[in-house]
């Protein structure tokens, strides 16, 4: 009997996210708003606990949207004709998305504009810098969002393999550029960049990606890391 690969569950889950993103217009909007809000969290210098609340609120909207899509698919599978119960099921699922979205808006408003933060924004930006772990987390999430958008828009390959941009190369260069921005010794930074190039080379030699696709991945990672660490540079 052939044993199942335990990683298949993660692969199928990722394919579900890609399917919802590809087919649901609202999901695209949610991901774009998520990217914008995470960048603003660095500009506003939100505290770590505030970013966690923000991430939880955004994730709640994404989960509600996915469950809404699953309910719609199940109802359409059962019946294609009008039925009051089918309508109620879809309306209730859509209502869950609405509640989650209103909650996220309220949380965002309180975090970004509460306690006169809008008036004191220059003061928040200047002397306080987020910890590098928070910037790293924001950067990883942003990178994954952009990889997902690019792969779905290109309509080629899957999230974990193939596509118009190399996700593995992007992650490799993101980690390498993070080490560079942390200002370690030059040999360590050089080794990190070299490892990123080796990852890119392996994707080309494995005929999983073309040279252009790994270059796109590297450029994407460099742009994301530069934006994240430039918006909130280290030190005072």
Return the active site residues.
Answer: 65
Instruction: Judge residue 71's burial from the number of C-beta atoms within 10 Å of its C-beta, 0-12 exposed, 13-18 middle, 19 or more buried.
Output: middle
Q: Is the dihedral of CA 121, 126, 129, 134 positive or negative?
A: positive
Instruction: Judge residue 222's burial from the number of C-beta atoms within 10 Å of its C-beta, 0-12 exposed, 13-18 middle, 19 or more buried.
Output: middle
- The rounded distance, in Å, linking the Cα atoms of 135 and 2 is 43
Q: Which DSSP letter does residue 116 get? A: G
Nearest to 112 by CA among 214, 201, 42, 31: 42
């Amino acid at each position: 009997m052939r044993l199942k690969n335990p990683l298949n569950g993660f692969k199928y889950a990722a394919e579900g996210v890609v399917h919802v993103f590809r087919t649901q217009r609202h999901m695209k909007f949610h991901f774009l708003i998520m990217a914008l809000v995470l960048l603003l969290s660095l500009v506003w210098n939100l505290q770590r606990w505030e970013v966690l609340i923000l991430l939880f609120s955004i994730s709640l909207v994404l989960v509600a949207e996915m469950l809404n899509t699953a309910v719609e698919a199940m109802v359409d599978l059962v019946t294609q004709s009008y039925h009051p119960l089918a309508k109620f099921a879809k309306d209730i699922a859509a209502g869950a998305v609405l509640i989650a979205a209103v909650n996220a808006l309220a949380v965002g408003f309180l975090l970004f504009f509460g306690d006169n933060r809008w008036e004191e924004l220059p003061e928040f930006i200047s002397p306080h810098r987020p910890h590098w772990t928070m910037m790293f987390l924001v950067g990883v999430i942003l990178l994954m969002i952009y990889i997902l958008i690019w792969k779905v828009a290109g309509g080629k390959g899957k999230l974990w393999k193939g596509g118009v941009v190399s996700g593995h190369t992007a992650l490799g260069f993101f980690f390498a550029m993070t080490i560079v921005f942390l200002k370690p010794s030059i040999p360590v930074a050089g080794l990190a960049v070299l490892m990123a190039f080796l990852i890119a080379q392996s994707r080309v030699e494995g005929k999983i990606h073309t040279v252009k696709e790994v270059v796109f991945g590297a450029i994407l990672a460099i742009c994301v890391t530069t934006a994240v660490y430039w918006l909130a540079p280290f030190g005072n």
